[in-house]
Amino acid sequence: FGCLLAAPRDRALKVHSGPTHAPRMLRPPRTMLPIRRGLATMLGLEVFESSSASLFGGEKKLSVRDFALPSEYANRNVVLLARPSNAPLPDALPAGAGGFSVLGVVQLSGGTAPYENRQAFESDVSRHQVPPGSEVYRKYAGESGGAWPGPLGDVYAWSIDSAEPKPEWHARFQGGATPAITRRHK
């Protein structure tokens, strides 16, 4: 799911989503360019809340996805939209509605070629933190020993070049309330 997060300078954030095969991406204010009609453009990415410990602890070095990292999002700050469950965020939520939280900021790279086979995917388990038998493993790779690629098709590993917990600027927007989100494309 892709989205563009636009932050009115003094109001709640608004997220606009892109095509299904683009990630939810955000860019923090210090790097916001361009600013159009009083809105700052940001990039955001949906993630599970449970990934924060390994992500900010430095163990998680790859993010597994079923689409390639779009080149225009590589090497840019990406704000993580953490959801507590396996369900994707709804197509629209008003500011302050909850259902997710701003987890932190990452920079991503790579992720343009899929894993060639299950062995390659499993050899990266220490970096992507998706062990065989887990729910996320079954989502992307299917059952151990099954056909490759898994049920979602090709699997890509996006390199996590840096990860920082929730940025201080987030609290300035409506006291840290969740931004409004609207998915533009499915």
The answer to whether residues 124 and 113 touch, using CB atoms and an 8 Å cutoff, is no
Nearest-angstrom CA–CA distance, 12 and 6:
9
- Averaged pLDDT of the chain: 76
Asked whether residue 152 carries a pLDDT value surpassing 50, the answer given is yes
| Cα separations in angstroms, 153 against 47, 65, 68, 73, 150 | 19, 10, 12, 22, 5
Nearest-angstrom CA–CA distance, 97 and 92:
10
Tell me the whole-structure pTM to 2 decimals: 0.73
Residue of 9, 26, 34, 22 whose CA lies nearest to 181: 26
Nearest-angstrom CA–CA distance, 97 and 119:
42
Provide the CA 97 distance to its chain's centre, in angstroms: 19
Q: Please give the pLDDT value at position 112.
A: 92
User: First vs last Cα of the chain: how many Å apart?
Assistant: 7
Nearest-angstrom CA–CA distance, 80 and 46:
6
Task: Render pLDDT for 57-70 as a digit per residue (tens, 0 to 9).
Answer: 999 999 999 999 98
Nearest-angstrom CA–CA distance, 16 and 64:
23
CA torsion through residues 113, 152, 44, 129, sign: negative
Q: Is 28 left (phi over 0), alpha (psi -120 to 50) or beta?
A: beta
Asked whether residue 53 carries a pLDDT value surpassing 70, the answer given is yes
Mean pLDDT value across residues 160-171: 82
